[in-house]
Structure 1
């Protein structure tokens, strides 16, 4: 039996296949610091113990996207080691906070398969779940990824494309207990805008931009133990006529960090309703983003509400140049410099 583990190709997957991913990962304060160093994140809950305690936490939870990208990385050797590209996400729910010292264990189930017409690759749909050392589920998500075939002539089963909800409904949004005076977050950020101050249809052009250095995206992807060849193997990518891709999770993290200006008082991500990596990103690209408020959600408590947001990431242009695509727009109809279209939901304090 060969010891070299070459990863799964499209024809190796079967609907209903369940995979327990190796190896469990304990997250630490060091991971938090490195994440901040790679993204520039200024999220209030992750910035200071005093902030977290005043907002109702015993200590600082780890950032939602650090947890997501780490859990995602656990799935790569089994799901997307031989990927062409990760295509999108749906029904992502951040079920519980994760703290330094917690250990994540991740498992997945294949829920759909569809061979591409060129027969060189196919799309794999997978539902994954991360749990902590106590068996508590902390994160669940669906993603779909295009994976190379080992043998272009290999037969494929009838296509199965799973039905996916466009939005995580309010009743399925995770609930966290925040301090009743959580609106005091404004004293930490110096910005007064809370849930009441945002309007459906409002657009926010985030003023910052960030150029992706080769070292930054490489270290970030290694931080998540993501081993996908498309992000690391420059020789193989050049042989295929391309270059190394920046991991999409790093793009999401950069855009989320840039969106702090305009959404300073956001507390936690509770869901990603859907997301698409529209076009590839490479070293040297400069990322900017803009956000539109899609909905204001009443959570049934007096101190916090939720905002459903649509964030568009763009490369090598200003946020003000972004034209928000219409819902359901096909990938080929996006401008070539749009790299991310993310629909997500955050919790933010209310005034009353």
Structure 2
């Protein structure tokens, strides 16, 4: 009886510890950082990082190189954009190739992928090349909702029949309606137009006691990062605002005539209390969240109909949900086993 009791108790303990470890791993995964790697491929090399921009709430690190560019320290939901057609790739003067865009590592050059995306996992890209043939130009515009030009248009080249995927250009205080546009090139260059439409980023004021917010923006085309740390004091504490001006001390009373007890001096006027300092607990946040309507990619051939959900993203969500489901199942099983043990022991006593 005692042996059986010890075995069952040990089994329950192991189940509970295993379930707890699963929950711990799942919780730790939420803090995981991601890496995006861009490989130059066999036909060219990276001559710089022109066209690369990163918008992150963490502290991303850009490591440039001739054969690859690595962006590490990314957090879930960060935005990365690398317009590789914008001169970042060097081909050589006599090369018969041209830059089509990027592809997922392991895919062929005809499977172009967007190089502007919201981070949802590690990603490996390779620059995709084509052989020059029936070349035609295509124009990329950057406008606001009223059609005003926010940046000069850019002209790239590809073969008729290509379907390039163009990454958006980072604009301070603006967000695009899509991170990338794609369209099939035709022989009439007037029809090969990609227009990004931008909306102003609304500044939002949010007060969150006891929290620290860090917003990092990587300056496009450089490895420089601009980090802003905003600290908010916990509730019940005095904000560290600008110190108020001290009140003016009242004048002393006039002394009485000598020999005669002096009259009591008039009391000085009470100093005015200093104004309260500015509340440093108010966070001014320029949201990096994706507004409604902001798509990763829009296909202009389909009259801007958003593409279906990315299978890789769906697979990632299912993968992340498995540890939580396993932990719950183990916990339920442990409770059931504990209940059965209790019933068994009670019956044995009778």
The TM-score range, normalised by the shorter chain, is: under 0.3
Q: Which has the bigger relative contact order, CA under 8 A and spacing at least 6?
A: 1
Whose helix proportion is higher, 1 or 2? 1
Return the TM-score normalized by structure 1: 0.24
Which has more radius of gyration?
A: 2
